[in-house]
Amino acid sequence: MKVMNEIIKVQLAHRTIREFTDKKVSDDVFAQLMEVARRTATSNGMQAASIIRVRNPEIKKKVSKVCNQEYIARATEILIFIVDQYRNSQIAKEKNSTDECARDMDNFFSAYTDAVLMAQNVVNAAESLGLGTFYMGSILNDTEEIGKILNLPQLTFPALGVALGYPNQDPQMKPRMDMKYRVFEDTYKKYDNYLEELKEYDEEMTTYYDLRDANRRVDSFTNQVVKKLKSPLPRRQEMLNIVKKQGFNLYLKDE
């Protein structure tokens, strides 16, 4: 008999919701979500991640244009989770100390992890309250433009977006591959023939309908992998240049 509490039930029922009703998220509910964000684990207690709540319809449209997803402009709530070493840098300066370490890759990735953990916690909490959510990894399409839209200062960087609201659609649960291909004991496990190993999963994926194109089943997982790896997004490939522009130091050790 499986032991399953309410939190796990919510997590196992996660689906991407892209269309929402006109019902607003109450101040009380939003405050609860922000309290969950506040209590999220943070590296070294530095709390180096922040959230920008996008409410202005014009700014929503600008963000949706970067994401190339028009439905983002209709989302009830948009939250952009950001790397934020600006605040700690300013604290150091006000205490007449150096902020150099705030600029290094250790602190960048610590803050990036903080931001992503905070986003996941907010999503879990939102779904437990009956809200629907979708992740907006597409803000990475042009992080420099997102920075301009949101007026991000130096030592900040947009990590991940989350849209949420009350669901106005009932999408199918998207299949996932067996965890034996993703969880290993002690060392990494390699398979001799992944196409053969994932054959059943490929077949299962072709039964799934994505509501963005509900009249057509999706392609197999392995075909999707090939298609996406053959179609890089140039602005995303140049992302480290934007990280550098934002004041972070990219230390590269010579071979």
* CATH class of domain segment(s) 6-170: alpha beta
Above 80 in pLDDT, residue 209? no
pTM over 0.85: yes
Average confidence (pLDDT) over 52-68: 97
* Interatomic CA distance for residues 18 and 174, integer angstroms: 14
What pLDDT band is residue 189 in, cutting at 50, 70 and 90? very high
Residues of the chain with CATH 3.40.109.10: 6-170
118-155 per-position pLDDT tens digit: 999 999 999 999 999 999 999 999 999 999 999 999 99
Please choose, from the candidates 129, 124, 146, 150, the residue with its C-alpha nearest in 3D space to the C-alpha of residue 137.
Answer: 146
- pLDDT digit string, tens, across residues 75-106: 999 999 999 999 999 999 999 998 888 899 99
Among positive and negative, which fits the CA dihedral 83, 159, 134, 207?
Answer: negative
